[in-house]
Chain A
Amino acid sequence: MRILDPHIHMTSRTTDDYEAMYAAGVRAVVEPAFWLGQPRTGVGSFVDYFDALIGWERFRAAQFGIRHHATIGLNPKEANDPRCREVLEVIPRYLAKEGVVAVGELGYDAMTREEDEVFAAQLAMAVTAELPALVHTPHRDKLAGTRRTLDVVRDAGMTPDRVLVDHLNETTVALVRDAGAWAGFSIYPDTKMDEVRMVAILREYGLERMIVNSAADWGRSDPLKTWRTGMTMLEAGFTADEVDQVLWRNPVAFFGSTLVLDPVPGFVAGAAPVPAEFAGSSVLRGVRA
């Protein structure tokens, strides 16, 4: 099973997670910029975070054979803080970076006027940068928030097939599919969506434009939920090719050519990442470095 997890906050995860993910078949991830639990107080904090997403975290993932990508954006929660609004000025420069595959995650939290403005401004940046947009649906008032999200996307002049609307459930999936957008599902231990419910949705709606992620972060979550969903699909009678469509080909098709998908050069599965204490010679170092 080969897996691209299109929504996972690896900054909040451990190296054990990276090892387990590789063993389960994860070869590429997309890490959307989001809030860190503790609200930020200024632009500098965002700049360091964005730099880490395209720098340190990409390096860390490569140590474990996994290609790391990011989406960059100002999240709706912090869009409500005027001290953070200025981050909009630095976002275009990040959208030009290698490995930045979309604008996001965007969307609504409390559905304020500030959130409207920041959402629309960043969709315009996505159009200019020729990137797709990753949009999440709010926790509260989810159905109304999803409708408003689709309206804003339409008004921004973005074609729906360039938008992935995430964190969907049984009540919002039809709305998003009918609009022509990609449908994303975050498989959580017990809240947003679970793998059994996910399989039922795939049975009802089919596999086209369907995307599954773990959305693992610093909260209770599981970075192997993509793999568990694949296993649950197989147990329910889906073929290996159908699993591959949902867990690999669909996200690859959505993000497109900005992904880097060739294997990490020099990575040896099972070998410890540097510093490797068992390999003291220059030759082995050369291979591992």
Chain B
Amino acid sequence: MTPTTPSPARTDHDPTVSRPPSSPAADPPTVVAAALAPATGWLAEAVAEVRRDPGTLAQPFAWAARRVGRDPLRPGSDPGGVVHGTVADAARAALVVAAFDGDVAPDALAEELRVRYREGDTGERRGVLRGLDALTVRGPLPPELVPVGLELAADALRTNDPSLVAAATGPFAAAHLDQHSWRHAVVKLVFQQVSLDAVTGLTERADAELARMAGDLAAERRAAGRVVPDDLARIAGPEKEF
């Protein structure tokens, strides 16, 4: 996919300062596009209900995968649905968007998303992160939602589940994650052998420090006689060859 939610600043910055994504809806990640597409069947009813009363989010959010399935959105290149998400991820993101569109104050929605994540299983956690991605793409994200998004992204980036790390490197991260955390998220994906296609705004946010980290990792792998992951070349900077 072509990253399209650039964040021009390439320096470390105050993570509480939100950077509005430019041309947010031009070419969103697959899972976000799926979440923002018109819903059908069970999901359409659930979306309508949650929009009518955002307080009802918990149950359809928990049930989503059992109702819409778990198929990967891009089975050819991503059979596990790790890089580009699953049908259930998109459905949960759609439910988050529906809650946002309902009659709920942004700070109340922020708390609801925190609970859905903290009390959620891995799929529900991805759903919250992808919901924030969808809201970011549809933009502008109310400032009340940014701190909770950063808190949950930080939690996801601490885990060793590649699907959670990948879900925390989408449009929300591109727009709001501080540069230091964002670089570590990218390198963690390389360690986890997840394609950097998962990262929104990769070329826009990649900087000299990320290139240095990539170079050091490549050197470490070569010294150990191990394979150097191809994706390191994507973040090595223009003058580097691996």
- Chain A residues in contact with chain B, CB under 8 A? 51, 54-56, 58-59, 93, 96-99, 258, 260, 264-266, 274-282, 285-289
User: What separation, in Å, do the CA atoms of A264 and B71 have in the docked complex?
Assistant: 11
Closest chain B CB from A126 CB (angstroms): 17
Smallest CB gap from A50: residue in B: B121
User: What separation, in Å, do the CA atoms of A274 and B160 have in the docked complex?
Assistant: 11
Q: Are B227's CB and A280's CB within 8 A? A: yes
Q: Are A97's CB and B121's CB within 8 A? A: yes
Tell me the total A-B contact number using a CB cutoff of 8 A: 83
Task: Give the interface size bracket for B toward A.
Answer: 35 or more
Closest chain B CB from A55 CB (angstroms): 5
User: What separation, in Å, do the CA atoms of A281 and B193 have in the docked complex?
Assistant: 9
For residue B56, CB closer than 8 A to chain A, the reply is no
Q: Are B79's CB and A265's CB within 8 A? A: yes
Smallest CB gap from B123: residue in A: A98
Instruction: Classify the interface of chain B: helix, strand, loop or mixed.
Output: loop
For residue B230, CB closer than 8 A to chain A, the reply is yes
Interface string of B44-78 (1 = CB under 8 A from A): 00000000000000010011011000111001011
20 further interface pairs, Cβ-Cβ under 8 Å (given A93-B119, A266-B72): A59-B161, A98-B121, A258-B66, A264-B80, A265-B79, A265-B80, A274-B192, A275-B193, A277-B226, A279-B227, A281-B230, A282-B231, A285-B193, A285-B194, A285-B229, A286-B78, A286-B83, A288-B193, A289-B162, A289-B195
Which residues from A are CB-within-8-Å of B192? 274-275, 289
Which residues from B are CB-within-8-Å of A281? 230
Which residues from B are CB-within-8-Å of A274? 162, 192-193
Known: A98-B123, A265-B79. A285 touches B195 (CB 8 A): yes
Q: Are A266's CB and B161's CB within 8 A? A: no
Q: Are B161's CB and A289's CB within 8 A? A: no
User: What separation, in Å, do the CA atoms of A56 and B63 have in the docked complex?
Assistant: 19
Which residues from B are CB-within-8-Å of A266? 72, 78-80, 82
